[in-house]
């Protein structure tokens, strides 16, 4: 019998690795780091065999020569290892991954892409580094396109999460499965719409995204300079609203937002909440527990951690004051 035993949503930022000594709000950063450790302990206590790891792509594993909306790793998986995140081969639960790929197509009508040699970046390896540290688990990696428009709709992501739930629970072998959504919350990256770059920096970024498949490291130094020069643009009001929905098990209420509306409200980086939404749907939208929310402009991001435990659902947060 296969069970889904825990869900975790967690923000990521490589600046946590590369610029800790330049982090001004150390108290906030340490609270976020402690929340990651608590979530890791909750995962350890849940004893998963396999983690469905839902993350975004930052143009180190996918390039503009081919950008599927959803890509499932069904064989080899290699982490790119940028900015101090884990590098090299990752263990994949191939039987469960291939069961998912087949059933999502045949039973649920999702023409999901798959890769037998998937390269992931910090959109997932940050979670491997902090949430899965020391845990003896295999992965089913799922990469969601959140940065190369047109993007999959929020409604489509939620439906995929529900389909993954049904497919995992139908797996004929015994598995204890956890689901992690890695990304968000509000932030704005100095990344262009690839279809209409303006100025040297934006044209450089699009060139890196299009031509970096064989030499992405050659672009990284200037990419980092462009990102570090960006002004932080956090939207704590949106983050609080989103986390309240997580706590109440109501993240599906956001599925009516378009990508443009979401970017206007919380920045282009907020498109990563698709990973949380998908995770929450895979957990049956059980009410979650917020472990941390910190505004960290040094990391350009509203940083949060939450846990969804189907065995011990959190008491739904009060909707008072929420829009």
Is residue 211 in a domain?
A: no
Its domain, for residue 238, covers: 2-189+230-308
Write down the pTM of the prediction.
0.94
Give the closest residue to 278 by CA, choosing from 236, 246, 302. 246
Q: Which pLDDT score is estimated for 217?
A: 87
Q: Where are the alpha helices (DSSP H) in 47-171?
A: 94-106, 122-130, 154-169
Q: Give, for all 323 residues of the chain, the pLDDT tens digit.
A: 899 999 999 999 988 888 888 899 999 999 999 999 999 999 999 999 999 999 999 988 899 999 999 999 999 999 998 888 999 999 999 999 999 999 999 999 999 999 999 999 999 999 999 999 999 999 999 999 999 999 999 999 999 999 999 999 999 999 999 999 999 999 998 888 999 999 999 999 999 999 998 898 899 889 888 988 888 899 999 999 999 999 999 999 999 999 999 999 999 999 999 999 999 999 999 999 999 999 999 999 999 999 999 999 887 655 543 43
Are 206 and 197 in contact by the 8 Å Cβ rule? The answer is yes
Annotated catalytic residue, options 122, 126, 198, 312: 122
Q: Which pLDDT score is estimated for 141?
A: 98
Is residue 304 in a domain?
A: yes
Show the beta-strand stretches assigned E in the chain. 2-10, 50-56, 70-80, 87-89, 113-120, 138-144, 175-182, 289-296, 301-308
Annotated catalytic residue, options 12, 99, 126, 187: 187
Residue 20 DSSP class: G
Rounded Cα gap, residues 111 and 126, in angstroms: 28
Is residue 90 in a domain?
A: yes
Are 275 and 182 in contact by the 8 Å Cβ rule? The answer is yes
Is residue 197 in a domain?
A: no
Our answer to whether residue 285 is catalytic in this structure is no
Is residue 224 in a domain?
A: no
Is residue 196 in a domain?
A: no
Are 271 and 315 in contact by the 8 Å Cβ rule? The answer is no
In angstroms, what CA-CA distances link 265 with 70, 236, 322?
A: 24, 10, 15
Rounded Cα gap, residues 8 and 126, in angstroms: 13
Q: What is the CATH number of the domain that holds 82?
A: 3.40.830.10
Rounded Cα gap, residues 198 and 313, in angstroms: 47
Give the closest residue to 296 by CA, choosing from 73, 15, 74. 15
Angle at 102 between CA 47 and CA 253, to 5 degrees: 70
Is residue 315 in a domain?
A: no
Our answer to whether residue 122 is catalytic in this structure is yes
Is residue 199 in a domain?
A: no
Name residues whose C-beta falls within 8 Å of residue 278's C-beta, 6 or more positions apart in sequence: 54, 142, 144, 157, 158, 160, 161, 164, 181
- Find out whether the peptide bond into 150 is cis, omega within 30 degrees of 0: yes
Are 246 and 314 in contact by the 8 Å Cβ rule? The answer is no
User: Mapping DSSP to helix (H, G, I), strand (E, B) and coil, where does residue 231 land?
Assistant: coil
Name the pairing type of β-strands 113-120 and 70-80.
parallel
Give the closest residue to 70 by CA, choosing from 100, 106, 92, 107. 100
In angstroms, what CA-CA distances link 125 with 64, 133, 137, 186, 321?
A: 21, 11, 14, 20, 36
Domain count within the chain = 1
Q: Which pLDDT score is estimated for 317?
A: 57
């Amino acid at each position: 019998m296969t069970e889904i035993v825990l869900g975790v949503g967690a923000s990521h930022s490589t600046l946590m690795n590369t610029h800790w000594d330049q982090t001004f709000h150390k108290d906030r950063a340490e609270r976020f780091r402690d929340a990651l450790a608590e979530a890791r302990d909750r995962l350890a206590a849940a004893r998963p065999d396999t983690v469905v790891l839902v993350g975004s792509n930052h143009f180190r594993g996918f390039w503009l020569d081919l950008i599927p909306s959803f890509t499932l790793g069904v064989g080899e998986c290699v982490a790119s290892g940028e900015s101090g995140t884990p590098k090299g081969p990752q263990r994949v639960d191939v039987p469960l991954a291939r069961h998912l790929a087949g059933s999502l197509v045949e039973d649920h009508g999702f023409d999901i892409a798959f890769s037998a040699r998937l390269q992931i970046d910090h959109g997932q390896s940050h979670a491997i580094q902090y949430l899965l540290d020391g845990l003896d688990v295999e992965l089913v990696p799922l990469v969601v396109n959140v940065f190369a428009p047109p993007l999959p709709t929020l409604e489509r992501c939620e439906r995929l999460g529900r389909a993954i739930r049904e497919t995992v629970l139908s797996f004929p072998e015994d598995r204890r499965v956890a689901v992690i959504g890695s990304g968000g919350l509000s932030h704005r990256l100095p990344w262009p719409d690839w279809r209409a770059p303006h100025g040297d920096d934006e044209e450089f970024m699009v060139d890196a995204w299009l031509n970096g498949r064989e030499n992405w490291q050659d672009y990284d130094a200037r990419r980092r300079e462009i990102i570090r020069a960006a002004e932080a643009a956090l939207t704590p009001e949106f983050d609080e609203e989103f986390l309240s929905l997580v706590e109440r098990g109501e993240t599906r209420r956001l599925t009516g937002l378009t990508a443009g509306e979401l970017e206007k409200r919380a920045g282009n980086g907020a498109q990563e909440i698709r990973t949380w939404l998908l995770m929450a749907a895979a957990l049956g939208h059980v009410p979650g527990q917020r472990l941390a929310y910190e505004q960290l402009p040094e990391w350009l991001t509203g940083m949060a951690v939450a846990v969804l435990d189907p065995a011990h659902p959190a008491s739904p947060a009060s909707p008072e004051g929420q829009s």
